[in-house]
Amino acid sequence: MSSKVPIFTLSNAVRMPSVGLGTWQMTGDEGKTVIRNAILAGYRHIDTATLYQNEDQIGDALAELFAEGVVKREDLFITTKAFCHEVAPDVIEEALRNSLKRLRLDYVDLYLAHIPAATRECGSHRTDVKVEDIWKGLEKLYSLGLTKSIGVSNFNESQIERIVKIQKVPIHVSQVIHVVSHEIKNSLFQLELHLYLPQKAHREICKKHNIIITAYATLGSPGRMSVIGADGKPLFESTKNIPNELNDKNVKAIAQKYNKTPAQVLLRATVEMGIVVIPKTTNPERMKENINIFDFSISKAEVNLLEAHERSKPERLFWWPNVADHPEDPFAAER
């Protein structure tokens, strides 16, 4: 593992690198190749999900790397997620066990509820399942040892507060970042976070309850436009005119100042906020660039300059249309 990458150390000795590889849209032989390239480039944190349909490929790649002695299981941090049809407490254990079979692992380091709205496999809404029920299901998996830690993804502030009120097994961890000397107890939370959606309200809630944030779409997720919906049109077409942060003038100016790429600036600024990032790329050179972001520092003033770009209307890239009108739709107030 690269010594330059800050590490979050959980209370049960699980080590969570602050930079991981996102694997959405990586399938088939490409998926295996990308994982191999990532491990060789120094990545030790891999983020996947049932929805991504690449757990088999990731499992095959990891098994080969283990057999070759390139890396050991205990050196990796593997995250996967239960999607809408898997988050209900009566099905989530089977879902995780199936993910483990595909990943060819005995446990994952982090298991997330991908979204708080439960559905049936056919897609119809399960209105009988609340976020409190989802959390209780995750707590059971944690107690069974199938996952080293548990968390949520795409939950809104009120849903987080509801979980905090009923949780029996808090995800308490001791976070140690190499650049600081104090310890903070935390839980885990994953959400869309980028320059034009800095999620300040979410960050305040997470700070209040000592929750670690993992950010996805930090680079604006340009690959989202290749996802085609049932009507033959891009599923996220409504977001096509949202500006790309990589072209932001302030990002470019800071990148030029430090002789870095705009992507490196955005990732470094996010980690500077104490947030884990999981950029996705299949390009070996960009993969190296995305993890090699700790040989320069961005000042607080520069971070503030970038954060000043928050829009009056949220520039959300992922609206999850399949859960619109669900009682637990986390974005109902924004639609």
pLDDT of residue 319: 61
- Note whether residue 333 is domain-resident: no
Structural domain of 184: 7-323
- Note whether residue 332 is domain-resident: no
- Note whether residue 328 is domain-resident: no
- Note whether residue 335 is domain-resident: no
∠ at Cα 318 (147, 305), nearest 5°?
95
- pTM higher than 0.75, yes or no? yes
Nearest to 23 by CA among 103, 91, 97, 104: 103
- Note whether residue 293 is domain-resident: yes
172 is in an annotated binding site: no
Task: Answer yes or no: are the C-beta atoms of 65 and 39 closer than 8 Å.
Answer: yes
pLDDT of residue 242: 63
Rounded distance, CA 162 to CA 37, Å?
Answer: 41
- Note whether residue 300 is domain-resident: yes
Catalytic residue among 52, 111, 196, 216: 52
Rounded distance, CA 300 to CA 306, Å?
Answer: 10
- Note whether residue 334 is domain-resident: no
Q: Pick out the chain residues at pLDDT < 50.
A: 1-3, 171-187, 189, 192-194, 196, 312
Secondary structure of the chain in HEC code, one letter for each residue: CCCCCCEEECCCCCEEECECEECCCCCHHHHHHHHHHHHHHCCCEEECCHHHCCHHHHHHHHHHHHHCCCCCHHHCEEEEEECHHHCCCCCHHHHHHHHHHHHCCCCECEEEECCCCCECCCCCECCCCCHHHHHHHHHHHHHHCCECCEEEECCCHHHHHHHHHHCCCCCCEEECCCCCCCCEEEEEEEEECECCECCHHHHHHHHHCCEEEEEECCCCCHHHHHCECCCCCECCHHHCCCCCHHHCHHHHHHHHHHCCCHHHHHHHHHHHCCCEECCCCCCHHHHHHHHCCCCCCCCHHHHHHHHCCCCCCCCCCCCCHHHCCCCCCCCCCCC
pLDDT of residue 246: 80
pLDDT digits (tens, 9 = 90+) for 2-17: 447 888 766 566 778 9
Residue type, 186: N
52 as an active site residue: the answer is yes
- Note whether residue 313 is domain-resident: yes
- Number of domains into which the chain is organized: 1
∠ at Cα 142 (102, 116), nearest 5°?
80
**CATH number for the domain harbouring residue 279:** 3.20.20.100
